[in-house]
Structure 1
Amino acid sequence: MTVEDCVSFAASIGARGIEILPEQNMRSFPNVTDHEVGAWKDMMARHGCEMTCYDMFLDTKLRSDRLMTDEEQVESIRRDLILCNTLGIRNMRVLVFVRPDILERCVPYAEDLDVHMGVEVHAPWHIEHAWILRTIEVADRLGTRHLGLLPDMGIFMKHYPPVWRARFEREGARPEVAQFIVDQHDAKIMAEYTIYEVAVKMKGTPVEVRMAETLRHSPYSNPKRIRDFIPYFRHIQAKFYEMNTDDTDPSLAYDEVVAELIAGGWSGYLSSEYEGNRWVQDVQPVDSREQVRRQHRMFERLLSQRTGEQN
C-alpha cells in the first residue's frame, strides 16, 4: 500500500484523523519542502481527513558516535515543532525518554507555535510512574497547556495477549509453562517473581524465559485513574495486538478505558496502532486492514453504548 492507500482506507471506515510520522512518511524530511507540505494537505482534503498528531523522534546519539548536547536536543525538537505547526497539526508525540528539563526549555517554542507536546506514556511506564509525573510537575509549575501526556493504550493490558502466547508456543514453549505465565499475569504477580519461577524452578528454556520477560512490559494501569489525568491529554495512541471476530479485544481493557474517557469529558482522537503483525507473520498473511476495521467497529459500539447510557 502507498501512503495514500492507507489514508484512503482509513477514511473508508470513518477514521478521518491521520497520525503521521514525518521521519518515515516524508521523503524530504528533515528539510521538508513547501511542495511536499502542500501535497500532504491536498491528500487530506481529497479524502476528507485531517492530520491529528505528529510523531517526533530524537536521535540522541549522532552518527559520529557522540551524544547530542542539550542544545542540539532542544534545536531538534524545535525543528519538529515548526514542521508540526507548518502542517497544521496541534499535537506532537514526544518519546518517553526525552528529559523533562529538555522539554521545559522547549515550552516557549510550543506555546508560540500552539503545539501540544504529549510525552508518550508507553509500557513499562504508566500514568503514575515517577518519571511521567516529572513531566506533569513541569507543566503545572509553568502553568502551560502545551506540555502534557499522550497515553499509549498498551499500559492497560488486562490479559496476556493470545497471539503472544501462541507465538512462543510455536517457538517451543511448553504449554504448561505458557499457561503458568498467563496465569501469573492475570493475577498481576510482579514480573521478576514470575521470571525467577520460570527460569530457576521450572528450568525454563530460553524461549520460555523470554516469554516470562515480556511481563516486564505488560502493565495493567488502573483505568479509574484516567480521569485525574485527562486535562493533560490531547491525543491517544490506541495500541492493540489482535481483535476477535466479534470486534472485542482479548487483552486490553478498552471497555473500561473508553467509559472513563467519556465520563471524564475527554474529546479527541484514538489513533489505531496495530502491533500484532509481528506475532503472526511467521505462520499467516497479515491483514492489518481487517484488524483496524474491527477495532474501529469496537470503538463505535463502546461510544454508542456509553453515550446512550449518559443520555
Structure 2
Amino acid sequence: MSNIKRSVSFYSLQDHYARGKMNLEDIFKFLKEMGAEMEFISDQMLKGTPHPSEESLKEWDRLMAEYKVKPVCNDIFINTCLYKNRTLTTKEATDALIEEIKLAHRLGFKLVRLVSKTPAEIIEPALPYAEKYDVTLALEIHGGMSFDNPMTKAFIDVIHKTKSPYLGIVVDTGIFCRRHPRVATNYFRSLGVNEEVIKYIDDIFASGTDPKQFFTKQGGRPKELLDLCKNELDHMYTIFSDGYETSDFSILDEHMPYVKHIHGKVYEMTEEGVEYSIPYDELIKYLDEKGYEGYISTEYEGNRFTLDGEEVIELEQVRKHQEMLKKYIAKLGR
C-alpha cells in the first residue's frame, strides 16, 4: 500500500462558498465524509486574514476540534499588486509573508503554498520566521509558469542556496496535461470561438506538445494560427491555451527532494471516473516509485467553465476525483 495521502483544497468549493450554498462548517463536514484532509484558503474563507478576529479564531478552533480534519496546507497570496499605482516594496511584501506565516502557525498548518508569482527576494528575510513557527514555504509550480519560468527558477535558486528544510515546492498537475481541457473548449465554443482555432490547439496537444512549447519554438503564435483568428475571443482562446502544459513526469526527477505537496488539478471528471486531460494512474505510479509520501489535494477548476444556465457541479467533481485517487493509491503495492 502506498503512503500517498489525499486532501481537498477548499478552492474546489469556492463557488458554493461564495454563493452561500456552503459555509465553512458544511465544507468541514464534506471532507470528513470523504475521509480527506484539508487544504485551506485563508484569504478567501477566513475573514480578516491575516489578522482574523478572536471570534473567528474561536470558531476555527471549534470546527477543528469537532471534525478533526487535518490541516495539511494553507494557500496564501502575497498581493504585490494591492495598489493601482505601484507594486509592494520588498519590505512590504516580506512583512505580509511574515504575518501569513504567523497565522498559518496559529491555525495549525505546517505548510503554506506560495502563489506562483511570489517574489523570490522576500523568501530569505522571512525564512527565520518560517523556522521559528515551524512552517514550510513552498512555491506552486503551475501550468504556464513551470520550471523554465524566471520567477520559478529564482525561487529554486533560493532553495539551493539556503538548503533549508523549510523551503520546497507544490506541484500543480496542470503541467501534466495530455489534452486541452474539454470543459474549457466547450465554454469558449459556447461564446463563439472559431472551430478552426479549436482544432488547431487540439492538434498541438495531439502532436505530443503544448501551446506554450509550440509557440516558443515558433517565436510566437504562428501566422497560420493568427490567420484563423477572426475576433478577440479567438485570440484569447489561443493565449489562454498555453496555461496547460504537457511535461513528462521526469521533469520532477531532480526536484523530488523539494516536493512538499501536490495539487491534483481537476478540469473534468468523466462518467468513466477519470480526469479528461491528466493521466492520474500514470502520475500516481510515478510518484509512488519516487517515494513520495505527501498529499495529493483535489483542486477543481472546472467550475469557472460552467456553461450559462447549468449548475456548478463542484461536489460531484470533487467526490469523483477523490474516489479516483483512492482507487489508484490502493492499487499500488509496497
TM-score by length of 1: 0.91
Identify the residue that residue 249 of structure 2 maps to in structure 1: 223
Distance 1:32 1:104 in 2: 26
- Aligned pair partner of 2:306 in 262, 277, 280: 280
- Report the 3-state secondary structure (helix = DSSP H, G, I; strand = E; otherwise coil) of the residue aligned with 1:235: strand
- Report the 3-state secondary structure (helix = DSSP H, G, I; strand = E; otherwise coil) of the residue aligned with 1:44: helix
- Report the 3-state secondary structure (helix = DSSP H, G, I; strand = E; otherwise coil) of the residue aligned with 2:278: coil
Contact 1:93–1:118, Cα closer than 8 Å, also in 2? yes
Is 1:6 the counterpart of 2:32? The answer is no
- Report the 3-state secondary structure (helix = DSSP H, G, I; strand = E; otherwise coil) of the residue aligned with 2:48: coil
Q: 1:203 to 1:107 in 2, by over 3 A?
A: closer
Q: Gaps (5+ residues) in structure 1?
A: none
- Displacement of 1:81 after TM fit? 0.5
Identify the residue that residue 329 of structure 2 maps to in structure 1: 303
Identify the residue that residue 75 of structure 1 maps to in structure 2: 95
Identify the residue that residue 45 of structure 2 maps to in structure 1: 25
Tell me which amino acid in the other structure corresponds to 2:29: S
Identify the residue that residue 139 of structure 1 maps to in structure 2: 159
The RMSD of aligned alpha carbons is 2.1
Identify the residue that residue 137 of structure 2 maps to in structure 1: 117
- Aligned pair partner of 2:319 in 277, 293, 305: 293
Distance 1:255 1:63 in 2: 43
- Aligned pair partner of 1:170 in 187, 190, 197: 190
Identify the residue that residue 119 of structure 2 maps to in structure 1: 99
Distance 1:38 1:66 in 2: 36
Distance 1:53 1:200 in 2: 42
Distance 1:28 1:105 in 2: 24
- Report the 3-state secondary structure (helix = DSSP H, G, I; strand = E; otherwise coil) of the residue aligned with 1:260: helix
Identify the residue that residue 47 of structure 1 maps to in structure 2: 67
Give 1:243-254 correspondences, 5 Å limit. Answer: 243-254=269-280
- Displacement of 1:279 after TM fit? 1.0
- Displacement of 1:198 after TM fit? 5.4
Contact 2:194–2:229, Cα closer than 8 Å, also in 1? no
Contact 1:148–1:233, Cα closer than 8 Å, also in 2? yes
- Report the 3-state secondary structure (helix = DSSP H, G, I; strand = E; otherwise coil) of the residue aligned with 2:222: helix
Contact 1:135–1:148, Cα closer than 8 Å, also in 2? no
- Displacement of 1:130 after TM fit? 4.4
Tell me which amino acid in the other structure corresponds to 1:167: Y
Contact 2:196–2:228, Cα closer than 8 Å, also in 1? no
Q: 1:204 to 1:144 in 2, by over 3 A?
A: same
Tell me which amino acid in the other structure corresponds to 1:39: E
TM-score by length of 2: 0.85
- Identify the structure with bigger relative contact order (alpha carbons < 8 Å, sequence gap 6+): 2
Identify the residue that residue 264 of structure 1 maps to in structure 2: 290
- Displacement of 1:203 after TM fit? 4.8
